[in-house]
Amino acid sequence: MHACREGGGSIEAALRELDRSMFAVLYRECHRAVRDTEAARDLVQETFIKVWRRCATFRGDSELLPWIRGILRHAILDRMKRPDREVAMERDGELDPEVRRSLAEGLAARPLAEEELRRGEREACFARCWRSFERAAPEHATVMAWIVEDGLDNRQIAEILGRTPGATREFISQCRKRARTHLAEWYALVAAPGNTA
């Protein structure tokens, strides 16, 4: 971070150091979210550039990696918010066709539920439902995974989203609603008597 204020060749050397020390770990996280090699690489490098632009806002007493990870996650969500990835659940009060299809797939698969239950394949059901959730609402699914994996609280979620506390609460509520829709089949399966997730 010292090089941040020095400029010139120091920036170049520091960027190289940043790439060597952190690219691999950030790339893993990014690839898990975007599942695209080129996009993940591009996002991590975009993050390094942003890190440099914002280095003046870095608090020396906090850890560098979590701070950079927060910037990366914000960039990932930004990418997911692009119109071509966004799938709204409802349009004019009607369920979006993508959501309707996913629900229909879930309902069609329901007769298999007993079979899955017997064979202990709840995970397969979850994987199917989660994929549908990720396709329809990638931003919400990704943030939920981060909440689970890193134990994020409201403030941390608001930072990643770049939203106010109120807007963050609304986003969390949306996460819950959307998860209920897309994971309905799995919820029904695990809520059946004698079953737990």
Interaction site with another protein (CB under 8 A) = 7-9, 11-12, 15-16, 19-21, 23-24, 27-28, 31-32, 35, 37, 41, 45, 48-49, 52-53, 122-123, 126-127, 130, 144-145, 147-149, 151-154, 169, 172-173, 176-177, 179-180, 183, 186-187, 190-191, 196-197
Q: In the bound complex, what is the minimum distance in angstroms from residue 24's beta carbon to another protein?
A: 5
Q: In the bound complex, what is the minimum distance in angstroms from residue 14's beta carbon to another protein?
A: 10
151: enclosing H helix or E strand = none
DSSP states of 8-39 = THHHHHHHHHHHHHHHHHHHHHHHHHH--HHH
Do the Cβ atoms of 174 and 181 come closer than 8 Å? no
- Using the minimum distance from each CB to another protein, give the nearer residue, 67 or 187: 187
* DSSP reduced 3-state for 125: helix
- Using the minimum distance from each CB to another protein, give the nearer residue, 87 or 124: 124
- Using the minimum distance from each CB to another protein, give the nearer residue, 16 or 91: 16
Do the Cβ atoms of 178 and 89 come closer than 8 Å? yes
- Using the minimum distance from each CB to another protein, give the nearer residue, 113 or 183: 183
d(CA 18, CA 48): 7
